[in-house]
Amino acid sequence: MTKSNFETALKRLEEVVNRLESGELSLDQALKLFEQGIGLARMCSKRLDEVEEKVQILLAGEPGERLEPFAAGTGEEPSRD
């Protein structure tokens, strides 16, 4: 999945969630949208996992170097021993 495909899938997922939360759908319509949303969420999750793996590889540095988990949202870089 390319960046634009990821962003398109994420935007569509947001639309699906908004429609489901509206409460204006029949049960059949809601089920169909929910199924579509699950597929989109899985696609996005897979792509995020791939990106996370690539970032971990890039941050790993030298063989044997210990990498601590990234502190998401803090703006801090992982410490290297």
Q: Which pLDDT score is estimated for 77?
A: 53
> Domains of the chain, with CATH numbers?
3-60 (1.10.287.1040)
Neighbours of 48 (CB within 10 A): 13
The pLDDT > 70 percentage for the chain reads: 72
Q: Are 79 and 55 in contact (CB under 8 A)?
A: no
Q: Which pLDDT score is estimated for 52?
A: 93
Q: Are 46 and 5 in contact (CB under 8 A)?
A: no
Please calculate the CA angle 35-54-50 and round it to the nearest 5 degrees: 10
Answer whether residue 4 shows pLDDT above 90: no
Answer whether residue 66 shows pLDDT above 90: no
Global pTM value:
0.67
Q: Which pLDDT score is estimated for 60?
A: 79
